Amino acid sequence: MESDSTIELTDTQMQHDSRKLPIDKVGVRNLRFPIRIRDKAHTFQDTIATVGMFVDLPHHFKGTHMSRFIEVLNAHGNVVHVENIPEILSAMQQKLDSRTAHLEMGFPFFLEKKAPVTRKTGLLDYDARFEATANCSEIDFVLEVRTKVTTLCPCSKAISKNGAHNQRGEVTVQIRSDKTVWIEDIIEITEASASSELYSLLKRPDEKAVTERAYDNPVFVEDLVRNIAASLNDHPHILWYKVQAENFESIHNHNAYACIEKG
């Protein structure tokens, strides 16, 4: 009798498909994978990425080989930075005999922040994402960073005898650049554009300082995206951006939203 290792198994994916319909993207999604991200200080932080890997499929093939995506990912280890993403895309193109390859990686990114008065430290998390596409040898790379901030309403401050309503907002910044722009750079621009940045650890003197800073720096959601866009316009290496801000309103039963896109 033949052993399992000597039996030639049918490659169903490579069988002919008669419908003549190419597929733009096929692959694996929602794969959780441990990675190490190099940060601006040239150190590493370990995190967990949610990964999507896709290629195009010509009309004459029945399917793609899903296991090969995992092989490519494992072959490149767990240290990820912008510089080695083209290698992963190229390996996907070769391994799966495709013209285009797509890689998505979303992951939490942590910064140690000091409270403004007591200087006590705590970790604050941000959401970062890489979206990269290789079309033959041409590569398109988009960095996305989501940052939570505090915004205080200028209208509420102007019309109220005491106080003003504020809320937490979430800002999503997506960029294309001709040189590396660090995640920390986008976070810094975003937080400086809001009424106040957030902290994970605040004592009473810190809370007083943060509250007063927000009161002194009221911004509409429109101000927020404009402030960020103005800073991105001044950045020498950013070619395209899309800035979206959403305020989770504290006195309304809806959210406030604004968006600016360049390019």
- Whether residue 7 lies inside any domain: the answer is no
Q: What is the pLDDT of residues 160-212, one digit of tens each?
A: 999 999 999 999 999 999 999 999 999 999 999 999 999 999 999 999 999 99
Residue 12 has pLDDT above 70, yes or no: no
Q: Would the pLDDT of 60 be above 70?
A: yes
pLDDT digits (tens, 9 = 90+) for 121-173: 999 999 999 999 999 999 999 999 999 999 999 999 999 999 999 999 999 99
Within a domain: 4: no
The model's pTM is 0.90
Are the CB atoms for 210 and 196 separated by under 8 Å?
Answer: yes
Q: Is residue 211 part of a domain?
A: yes
The answer to the question of residue 202 being in a domain is yes
Domain of residue 182: give its range. 17-262
Provide the pLDDT for residue 170.
98
From CA 250, how far away is CA 187, in angstroms rounded? 24
> Which CATH number covers residue 233?
3.10.270.10
Taking only the tens place, the pLDDT of each residue in 72-115 is 999 887 777 777 899 999 999 999 989 999 999 999 999 999 99
Within-domain flag for 172:
yes
> Is 10 inside any structural domain?
no
The pLDDT value recorded for residue 18 is 67
**Residue 13: predicted pLDDT:** 65
What is the number of structural domains in the chain? Answer: 1
Tell me, what's the pLDDT at 31? 94
Structure tokens at 10: 């049918």
Asked if residue 67 is part of any domain, the answer here is yes
Determine the pLDDT at residue 182: 94
Query: What's the per-residue H, E or C state across the chain?
Result: CCCHHHCCCCCHHHCECCCCCCEEEEEEEEEEEEEEEECCCCCEEEEEEEEEEEEEECCCECCCCHHHHHHHHHHCCCEECHHHHHHHHHHHHHHCCCCEEEEEEEEEEEEEEECCCCCCEEEEEEEEEEEEEEECCEEEEEEEEEEEEEEECHHHHHHCCCCCCEEEEEEEEEEEECCCCCHHHHHHHHHHHCCEECCCCCCHHHHHHHHHHHHHCCCCHHHHHHHHHHHHHHCCCEEEEEEEEEECCCCCCCCEEEEEEEC
Q: What is the pLDDT of residue 4?
A: 59
Is the residue at 8 inside a domain? Answer: no
